[in-house]
Amino acid sequence: MKHLHTLALILCCILAQSVSAQKTASQLFDNLSKRIQLHGYAQAGFTSTYSNGINNNTFDVKRALVWANAQITDRWSFLFMHDFSSVVQEFYTDFRITNNKALIIRFGQFKNGFSYENPLSPTNQETIDVYSEGVTYLSGCGSDPLLGVQYGRDLGLSLFGETNNRKLRYELDIMNGQGINKKDGNAEKDFIGRLEWRPTKGINLVATGQIGRGHAIATSIYNPGIAIGQNYKRNRWSVGFDYKSKPFNLHGEYLEGKDGNATSRGAYLTGCIPIKQNLFDIVASYDFFNFNTDLGMDQHKVVAGVQYWFYKKCRLQMQYVYKSAFIQNKTFTHGANHALMCQVQVRFN
C-alpha cells in the first residue's frame, strides 16, 4: 500500500508538470503569434512575344516571396524576406526613436527610396511588368548592366518618419550603392532623399533625389564609355504624384539620371479604372524613357489590359504590351515589340 501511495504521488507530480509545461508552451506560442507575422505572395504566368519576326512564349514564375516581421518591443522590430525564385531580398531592423512616428532608424538591406514606384510592392502595381522603364533602370531594379539586377535594394542606413498628421513623410538613405548581398565596390556612399506631401485625401506628391558614385560590374550598351571596374558619377532625381478616387486611380512621374557623361530621362503615366469596385479593373499605361539622350536610345511603351480580383489581394491579370525599341544581338534597335501577358497573383498576410 505504501508503494501505491508513492507511485500515485509520482504520477500526480508528473501530471502537474505536464499541465504546467502545456500552459507554458501555450503562452509561448500565443506570445510568438502576437509578435511574429508571416506574409507571402507568388506571381506566375504566361508571356508570348513577337519581335523582329520572331515569336517566343513561356510560362514563368516571376516572384515567390515569404517574409517574417518580428515585433521585438513596441519600438524595435526586425524583418527578413526571401524570394524563392531568386535570392534573399531584405533583412533589416527598425527602431522608433520618438514616441510617435516622427523619427525611425533602419539598418540592413532594404528598398532604396528613389522614385515614387520603387518602394511599392509588386502586388499593388497595376502592370505585370511592375515598374516603369525609368524606375527599373535608375533605381537598380534590373535593366542597368553597370549595376546589374539589384531588385531596387541595397545595404545601408535610413532615417525616416511622418509628421503633420501623416501629411508629410521624409526619408534619408545612406547606402553602399552596389546592390543586394554585396560589399561596396568603392569607398564612396550613395545618398538618397525622399519627400512625400499629402495636401488632401487621395493626393500624394513625391520628390526624390540621389547623389553618389557607382562601380561598374559590367559594360553597358546604354553607356559604352564606362569600363568594367570603373567608378563613375551616378546622380538621379524625380518628381511624381499619386491620385486615388472611386472613379479612377492615377500615378505618374518624371525621372532623370546622370551616369558618367551620359544623361537618361523619361516619364510615365499609369491608371486604373474600377468597373466593379474591388472586383474588376481596366488598366492602362504610357511610358517613355531615353536610356542615353546623346545616342538617341528612346523607347515608348504602351500597356492595356484588365485585372480580376478573385479574392482579397489575389488577382488574375491579362495585358497587351507594345514597345517601340528592343535589344537584338547586343544592339539597341528601334522597332516594334509586341507581348501578350497573363499573370496570377496569390498573396497571404
Let me know if residue 17 belongs to a domain.
Answer: no
Give the side-chain half-sphere CA count within 13 A for 206. 25
Q: Residue 342 belongs to what H/E stretch?
A: strand 331-348
Classify residue 277: in a domain, yes or no.
Answer: yes
In a domain, 273, yes or no: yes
Is 45 inside a domain boundary?
no
Position 4 scores a pLDDT of: 45
pLDDT tens series, the chain, 349 aa: 455 455 455 545 555 565 555 556 566 556 666 789 999 999 999 999 998 888 999 999 999 999 999 999 999 999 999 999 889 999 999 999 999 999 999 999 999 999 999 999 999 999 999 999 999 999 998 889 999 989 999 999 999 999 999 999 999 999 999 999 989 999 999 999 999 999 999 999 999 999 999 999 999 999 999 999 999 999 999 999 999 998 999 999 999 999 999 999 999 999 999 998 779 999 999 999 999 999 999 999 999 999 999 999 999 999 999 999 988 888 999 999 999 999 999 999 8
Structurally, the chain folds into a number of domains equal to 1
Partnered with residue 342 across adjacent β-strands are 46, 318
- The burial of 11, by beta-carbon neighbours within 10 Å (0-12 exposed, 13-18 middle, 19 or more buried), is given as exposed
> How far, in Å, are 111, 153, 189, 317 from residue 107 at the CA level?
11, 13, 15, 35
Residue 206 belongs to some domain of the structure: yes
Contact status, residue 265 vs residue 290, Cβ threshold 8 Å: yes
Question: Alpha-carbon distance 112 to 110, whole Å?
Answer: 6
In a domain, 117, yes or no: yes
Q: What is the pLDDT of residue 13?
A: 56
- Look at residue 85 and tell me if it is in a domain: no
Give the residue from 277, 282, 287, 286 showing the smallest Cα distance to 317.
Answer: 282
What gap in Å lies between CA 172 and CA 170, rounded to an integer? Answer: 7
By residue count, the chain amounts to: 349
Q: What is the CATH number of the domain that holds 229?
A: 2.40.160.10
Domain residues for 162?
110-348
Residue 161 forms part of a structural domain: yes
